[in-house]
Amino acid sequence: MHWRPKPIPDKDKVKQIQKEIGVPFEIACLLIQRGIEDYDTAKSFFRPELSDLHDPFLMSGMKEAVDRIFQAINKGEKIMVYGDYDVDGTTSVALVYSFLMQNHPHCIFYIPDRHEEGYGISIKGIDNAKAEDVSLIIAMDCGIKAMDKVSYAQTLGIDFIICDHHLPDEDLPKAIAILDPKQAICSYPFKDLCGCGIGFKLIQALTQKQGGILEDIIPFVDLVAMAIAADIVPITGENRILTYFGIQQIQKKPRLGIRFFINKIKRRINVSDLVFVLAPRINGAGRIKHGSHAVSLLLSEEKEEAISRSRAIELFNSERKELDQKITAQALDQIKENQEEELYSTVVFQPDWHKGVLGIVASRLIETHYRPTVVFTLSGEYFTGSVRSVKGVDVYQVLDACKEHIFQFGGHQYAAGLTIKPNDYLPFKKAFELSVSKTIQPEQMTPSISYDLEMTLDKITPKFYRIMEQMAPFGPGNLRPLFLTKNCLDGGVTKAVGSNQNHLKLDVTDSSKSNLSGIGFDMANHIIKIKSRELFQILYTLDENEFRGVKSLELKLSDLRFSN
């Protein structure tokens, strides 16, 4: 892995912010790196306020959306809240549906079946709406490219409001309103909301129109925090505010549907818990069974009902893990068998692979073969695939260059989905490889890791850690600080730990003569050289460890290399 230092901040700026807010030099450096250069910016960064959220009516289409929803409420029309089956989609549906149900019981929700209908708006979903006498569909986290589907709904007398955050094409669906800050005509100040974030802006606008205040909808902000974390959108601007208050809500008053999963977390909840504890379970429902199970879980109002649904979701997640491991192993074998030459991309296919875990498998393959990756399976009469990319390579643009071999596709810079005809598999594979080869740079074929600061261990104090933790929530755009320390030596009690003795429990000292402990997962292979007193360097983040009621700072190793 390449170790890359982030740009060194201007020392005069560092000293100025250090003086203005009274923090250690290293904290001031971290702030400057994040674009925080004065007292007022620092204040809003460390102390997010709900009042800093933008007026939702600045979003193009918001007035039309609100007017149409109130028209439906006043006339007693039936509304369907329609959303994708992933975390962003299911939380969006839970948020808007439960908000509307407070005053308008004529609502239903709909999540498409991942296997039968695929991503986005489906004909089956629209037909279901017609059968249920629905006259307004509010589409969450999807719909921005559903030109034909929205037109079809119009012929049945069904209106659409689209709440999406994906990049739109030049031509837009003929919906009553489209809420998507990425539209060229939209001047909304913050462009990086996830689908659930746009849902929150919608209920904020509805609340304002009714004469309510922001505090009225705080109970819904936990759902937004889950979606922001799972959808890997930047945790800056409005996303930072929503995540900050969402985590507070989860910490203080978690909804019944998630208590089963977070009860074992005894410390303060953080973004990593949302990503690694909650998101896989919410996603697991749509991957293995049906996304509606996730929505029902999030809407649970009775304790026994919530526990029952949680246990079912836990079983789905366990099945997802088994499938993920099995298919990843098969895909790695396929790569080994077929790769006679070094390629710029990875494309694999097996007809019986489970559609629900293709994206996870693609990510796993990148951990071993660091290349833009597509994993296909057979779905009906088509091949369906999930795409994942490496840093700096926009797979959406890569797919666009291959579109003559694609039936349909959609997604983001680093993750996408596509459907192709079986006859197009080999032509697509060649076109994808060619497109990637023209795009990827040599340095993008090896994983790299960027660290914030080089520092000695004596700088790591409880005060330093306390201030650094106030920079949370951490995530894209404000990653947890990563540090480099050189001239490290075994402090004397470094050992291998874990059931397979594959993890490294590090006791480390450096040139400052300070001593700290650390943990390096799957790094026990270094122990012989460490115990031989060879000098080494470490990249790490900081965490607080609690053992038998005693708290201590701990280094969480990201990488380790020897100095010679």
Q: Which of 444, 85, 514 is nearest to 290 (CA)?
A: 85
pLDDT tens per residue across span 502-561: 999 999 999 999 999 999 999 999 999 999 999 999 999 999 887 777 888 999 999 999
- Of 563, 391, 562, 559, nearest to 484 (Cα)? 559
The whole-angstrom separation of Cα 209 and Cα 196 is 20
Question: CB neighbours of 288 closer than 8 A, spacing ≥ 6?
Answer: 316, 317, 319, 320, 323, 354, 356
CB crowding 234-268: b at 16 or more within 10 Å, else e: ebbbbbbbbbbbbbbbbeeebbbbbebbeeeeeee
Tell me the C-alpha distance between 453 and 34, whole Å.
13
- 516, two tokens: 């700290």
Long-range CB pairs of 398-402, under 8 A, 24+ apart, other chains included: 398/372, 398/432, 398/435, 398/436, 398/439, 399/432, 401/431, 401/435, 402/428, 402/431, 402/432, 402/435
Architecture of the domain spanning 339-445: Roll (3.10)
Question: In the predicted model, is pLDDT for residue 341 greater than 80?
Answer: no
pLDDT category of residue 340 using cuts at 50, 70 and 90: low
CB 306 within 8 A of CB 297: yes
Output the six-digit token pair for 424: 């197009």
Residues sharing a CB contact under 8 Å with residue 45, sequence separation 6 or more, in sequence order: 31, 34, 36, 240, 471
- Give yes or no for residue 265 having a pLDDT over 90: no
Confidence of residue 115 (pLDDT cuts 50, 70, 90): confident
CATH class of this structure's domain 450-564: mainly beta
Summarised one tens digit per residue, pLDDT across range 384-430 is: 999 999 999 999 999 999 999 999 888 778 888 999 999 999 999 99
**Which sequence spans correspond to the domains of the chain?**
9-47, 56-308, 339-445, 450-564
Distance CA 139, CA 92 (A): 9
- Give the span between the Cα atoms of 484 and 537, in whole angstroms: 7
pLDDT tens string 170-199: 899 999 999 999 999 999 999 999 999 999
DSSP string covering 415-443, please?
Answer: EEEEEE-GGGHHHHHHHHHHHHHHH--GG
The pLDDT-based confidence of 383 (bands split at 50, 70, 90) is very high
CA quadruple 129, 132, 137, 141: dihedral sign:
negative
Tens digit of each residue's pLDDT (9 = 90 or more) over 526-539 = 999 999 999 999 99
Instruction: Spell out the residues 6+ positions from residue 98 whose beta carbon is closer than 8 angstroms to its own.
Output: 220, 299
Q: Is the pLDDT of residue 342 over 90?
A: no
Residues in the chain: 564
Please report which confidence band the pLDDT of residue 95 belongs to, taking 50, 70 and 90 as the band edges: very high
Pinpoint the alpha helices (H) of 170-215.
195-209
pLDDT at 349 over 80: yes
Give the fold, CATH level 3, of 56-308.
Answer: inorganic pyrophosphatase (n-terminal core) (3.90.1640)
| Mean pLDDT score, 78-82 | 98
Burial class (CB in 10 A: 0-12, 13-18, 19+), 216: middle
List the beta bridge partners of residue 330. Answer: none
Q: Which pLDDT value is given to residue 551?
A: 84
Give pLDDT tens digits for 436-492: 999 999 989 999 999 999 999 999 999 999 999 999 999 999 999 999 999 999 999
- The percent of residues above 70 in pLDDT, for the chain, comes to 100
Please tell me what DSSP assigns to residue 115.
Answer: T
Asked whether the beta carbons of 53 and 238 are under 8 A apart, the reply is yes
Q: Copy the structure tokens of residue 292.
A: 């509606």
Q: 68 is written with which tokens?
A: 């149409």
